[in-house]
Amino acid sequence: MRALLRLFVITGILGGFVVGCSETDSAVEPAPTLEEAAAPPPSVSSVPALTEEEAERAEFQYFDRCSGCHGALRKGATGPNITDEKMLEKTLAELEETIFEGTEAGMPGWGRTGEMTQAEAELMARFVQNPVPIPPEMGLEAMKATHQVHIPVSERPGKPEHDRNIDNLFGYILRDAGKVAIIDGDTKEAASVFDTGFAVHIFRASATGRYFYTIGRDGKLTLIDLFQEKPQVVAEVRVCLDARSVDVSKYNGPKGDFVDKLAIVGCYWPPQMVIVDGQTLEPIKVVSTRSSTYDTNEYHPEPRVATIVASHFDSEWVVAIKETGMVWLVDYSDLDNLQMTQIATERFLHDGGWDATKRYLLIAANMRDQIAVVDTKEKKFVTKFETGTKPHPGRGANWIDPEYGAVSATTHLGEGLIAVYGSDPENHPEHAWKVVREQETAGPGLFLKTHPESNHVWTDSTLSKDEGVNQQICVFRKDDFDAGPKCWKAADHGKVVHFEYNKAGDEVWASVWDKQGEIVIYDDKTLEEKKRITADWLVTPTGKWNVYNTVHDIY
């Protein structure tokens, strides 16, 4: 425990992009039988010894690379249960090989990809055979102790102090450097590079487009003011020990004007959501997500928040609770009398986003190989359907198919496949929520992307274990999807990951993810490379978000 607490200090926790998971479904462990409860614990001599320094290193490594899939308590979600009781059933040699080489079903070989040495894989094998260190909780008082407002609202400029096109600015994650960059999409120059949280997972833009919010794996939330002469962090707070998601309030209607007034953070640990002031990030309210699974009604100690989006129909955030399979509609119009609608969908919810109408949440229940559909206007579950092995759409991709009308699509963690499905129940009910087209890609990937002004769908193969394939890009034509993709190698080092369009929809930006990172910019119409950005500050670039596309939920 002492080493774990030091870990949180090291990572800035008390002061995305984790990828790859194993194939085993991971329902909540059933209560032990009387015989099991009475059985003696594993012999102390069978548990591998760890020095205090080794435990400290292993805890950080687990947090950085493993907890996203296996959970802080190691009970599993997208990845399987890897508690010490389970891991003592394996030999150290077997565990070390799995960690170093990976699995066929999606867990990366951390040694093969260069993230772990053989010695580090051996250390992790010993670590997971030791008892699980229980992370501390984090309440409102601890959060407020981390809260800082660097520039008060009254001292912020009333209009931009520069002549950049704010709509075409990009927020760019520099994952392992603990930094982000704001890049001018017109000039391709970095407007600002600065420290944020450890391993930032996403950017979200405020409804007005003035601010960017970032959330890091260490639970640190930052507020970036794009009106400043040089964009900078104007407020920050730490609301979790591990986090992935954030969104803002966008509603302006009969219940009041909440535009940019509030923000919500979804935590992995502690399992909770936190509502903060949208202008200062002062923590306001904490809501635990600990509850029972939708199907078996068994209590779950670690239901983590996955996707969050802001409803376009009401003063609500749409919050997906990963392990319990619930989608919560959280009404932020009266925080003193908080109301929520809880919708049962499917377990192990992960990434997702809107259909083209922004009415339906389309979210992957990836360990069940399904997409779940929630109607946020009628506030009810619609359906779920299978697509392929471990769907992972990111926020997804929407376009008009020449035969099936409005469609949406997902890539997959477990296989090189794009599944396209109908998403227009009003005009094409016969195709709605059914897979209508499938095409193979170069290999398992994380993201796909398109734009209303484009005829192309871009996808990566970041998780492929074949030599060089994770450096490829594949592009499909919307008007001839069945012709298959055009694929090419975009880099000779690192992994190519994540795409974003500029505001006009005629450029696509891709990341080369390693310590000698690159940004590769393509002409969307010709697929020709327009520019390749390299710089000392480009350390492990991953996700990026265009202001205009993020404000308007264009994907």
| Residue from 21, 70, 124, 428 carrying the catalytic annotation | 70
Structural domain contains residue 57: yes
Residue 240 a catalytic site member:
no
DSSP line for 260-302: TTEEEEEEEESSEEEEEETTT--EEEEEE--EE-TTT--EES-
Task: Using CB atoms within 10 Å of the CB of residue 54, give its burial: 0 to 12 exposed, 13 to 18 middle, 19+ buried.
Answer: middle
| Residue from 21, 87, 107, 116 carrying the catalytic annotation | 107
Tracing tokens 């986090």 back to the chain, one arrives at 243
Residue 69 a catalytic site member:
yes
Residue 107 a catalytic site member:
yes
Residue 521's region, left for phi above 0, alpha for psi from -120 to 50, else beta, is: beta
Q: How far apart are CA 258 and CA 76, in angstroms?
A: 37
Structural domain contains residue 76: yes
Structural domain contains residue 149: no
Q: For residue 8, what are its two tokens?
A: 């949180």
* 169-174, strands of its sheet edge to edge: 190-195, 179-184, 169-174, 541-546
| Residue from 66, 273, 367, 474 carrying the catalytic annotation | 66
For 65, the domain range is: 2-30+47-128
| Residue from 147, 201, 300, 392 carrying the catalytic annotation | 392
Structural domain contains residue 134: no
**How many domains is the chain built from?**
1
3-state secondary structure 135-187: CCCCCHHHHHHHCEECCCHHHCCCCCCCCCCHHHEEEEEEHHHCEEEEEECCC
| Residue from 21, 69, 143, 267 carrying the catalytic annotation | 69
Residue 201 a catalytic site member:
no
Residue 300 a catalytic site member:
no
pTM: 0.87
Structural domain contains residue 51: yes
Structural domain contains residue 70: yes
Q: CB of 22 within 8 A of CB of 63?
A: no
From residue 275, give the alpha-carbon distance in Å to each of 265, 341, 413. 7, 17, 31
Structural domain contains residue 21: yes
Q: Is the dihedral of CA 533, 535, 537, 539 positive or negative?
A: positive
Residue 66 a catalytic site member:
yes
Structural domain contains residue 23: yes
CATH number at residue 96: 1.10.760.10
Query: Could you read off the pLDDT tens digit of each residue along the chain, which spans 555 residues?
Result: 444 444 444 343 333 333 444 333 344 444 444 344 444 455 555 888 889 898 888 888 887 778 777 888 888 766 788 888 888 888 999 888 888 888 766 677 777 777 788 998 898 889 889 998 888 899 999 999 999 999 999 999 999 999 999 999 999 999 989 999 999 999 999 999 999 988 899 999 999 999 999 999 899 999 999 999 999 999 999 999 999 999 999 999 999 999 999 999 999 999 999 999 999 999 999 999 999 999 999 999 999 999 999 999 999 999 999 999 999 999 999 999 999 999 999 999 999 999 999 999 999 999 999 999 999 999 999 999 999 999 999 999 999 999 999 999 999 999 999 999 999 999 999 999 999 999 999 999 999 999 999 999 999 999 998 889 999 999 999 999 999 999 999 999 999 999 999 999 999 999 999 999 999 999 999 999 999 999 999 999 999 999 999 999 999
| Residue from 350, 412, 431, 498 carrying the catalytic annotation | 350
